[in-house]
């Protein structure tokens, strides 16, 4: 009888230790499962947000494309990722910031659809000037460098749009010189592509500042 009791007493700690081990494993499994579920929920939320963002961008592109259907169909402008591209040769002579009559007529045709597009959106237009990589000619050159030429061209287009009815508060000018070519300046055809003006809807500065502040702790 005493021997039987001793066996029971000696085996009891082993069973208790095994139960504790199983309890610990079960707790760890539950924590792991909760962590996996939380990660999956976070990934699903991020994916949904990305899908909504893509849908909004696509809708924005379609809206702008519809607004500019006529000038796009004529081939006088391009639309790429929301940026309206106008070839420099339609607007200006080489190394000039004087707007050509054909260019002014084109800009006039853009005012109404762009105003219609901006009417229900909290965006403004950035008018950007770009050049090729060739330096200004020495001697009778009017501009110091490509930066100045691209800036003056952007200002000329901006003022022309305002003259044709675009509210001044809806647009601003920017200059990029030769720094952002569409294609390498390998030949004259490529350089002609890089001499351009782009008009792109962008968020208003106040909204951009608010978004930046919201992302900062």
- Over its length of 217 residues, how does the chain's per-residue pLDDT go in tens digits? 545 554 545 555 555 676 777 777 777 777 887 878 878 777 777 777 777 667 667 777 788 888 888 888 888 899 988 899 999 999 999 889 999 999 999 999 999 999 989 987 889 999 999 999 998 765 557 888 999 999 999 999 999 999 999 999 999 999 999 999 999 999 999 999 999 999 999 998 764 444 444 445 4
Among residues 64, 153, 55, 62, the alpha carbon closest in space to that of 110 is found at 64
Burial of 64 (0-12, 13-18, 19+ CB in 10 A): buried
Do residues 162 and 80 share a domain? yes
What integer pLDDT is reported at residue 7 of this predicted model?
A: 52
Q: Which pLDDT does position 104 carry in this prediction? A: 95
Instruction: Give the pLDDT confidence score for residue 12 in this predicted structure.
Output: 52
Integer CA distances (angstroms), 11 to 4, 6, 23, 99, 163, in order: 11, 9, 19, 99, 97
Task: Answer yes or no: do 107 and 169 share one domain.
Answer: yes
Q: Counting Cβ atoms within 10 Å, is residue 160 exposed (0-12), middle (13-18) or buried (19+)?
A: buried
Q: Are 9 and 58 within one domain?
A: yes
**CA distance linking residue 172 with residue 203, whole number of Å:** 12
CA 130 to each of CA 162, 171, 184: distance values in angstroms, whole numbers, following the listed order: 20, 17, 13
Looking at the fold, whether 127 and 60 belong to one and the same domain comes out as no
As a whole number of angstroms, the distance between CA 130 and CA 151 comes to: 8
Considering the domain architecture, whether residues 29 and 103 belong to the same structural domain is answered as no
- What pLDDT is attached to residue 112? 93
> Cα–Cα distance between 139 and 142 in angstroms, integer?
9
Q: What is the pLDDT of residue 30?
A: 78
Rounded-to-integer distance, Cα 141 and Cα 33, Å: 72
- Tell me, yes or no, whether 37 and 81 share the same domain: no
pLDDT the model gives residue 208: 47
| C-alpha atoms less than 13 angstroms from C-alpha of 57 in its C-beta half-sphere | 10
Q: Are residues 143 and 184 in the same domain?
A: yes
Range of the domain at 120: 69-213
Task: Give, to the nearest 10 degrees, the angle between helix 146-163 and helix 101-119.
Answer: 70
Domain termination residue (choose one: 67, 84, 119):
67
61 and 74 fall within a common domain:
no
- What pLDDT was estimated at residue 190? 93
């Amino acid at each position: 009888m005493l021997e039987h009791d001793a066996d029971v007493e000696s085996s009891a700690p082993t069973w208790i230790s095994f139960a504790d081990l199983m309890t610990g494993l079960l707790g760890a499994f539950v924590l792991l499962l909760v962590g996996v579920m939380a990660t999956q929920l976070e990934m699903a939320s991020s994916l949904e947000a990305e899908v909504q963002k893509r849908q909004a961008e696509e809708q924005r592109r379609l809206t702008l494309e519809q607004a500019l259907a006529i000038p796009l169909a004529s081939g006088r402008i391009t639309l790429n990722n929301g940026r309206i591209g106008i070839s420099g040769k339609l607007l200006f002579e080489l190394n000039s910031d004087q707007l050509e009559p054909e260019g002014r007529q084109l800009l006039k045709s853009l005012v109404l659809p762009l105003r219609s597009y901006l009417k229900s959106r909290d965006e403004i237009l950035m008018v950007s000037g770009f050049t090729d990589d060739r330096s200004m000619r020495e001697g009778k050159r009017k501009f110091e460098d490509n930066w100045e030429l691209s800036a003056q061209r952007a200002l000329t287009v901006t003022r022309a749009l305002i003259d044709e009815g675009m509210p001044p508060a809806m647009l601003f000018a920017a200059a990029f010189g030769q720094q952002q070519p569409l294609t390498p300046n390998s030949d004259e055809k490529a350089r002609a592509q890089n001499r351009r003006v782009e008009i792109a809807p962008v968020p208003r500065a106040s909204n951009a500042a608010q978004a930046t502040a919201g992302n900062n702790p």
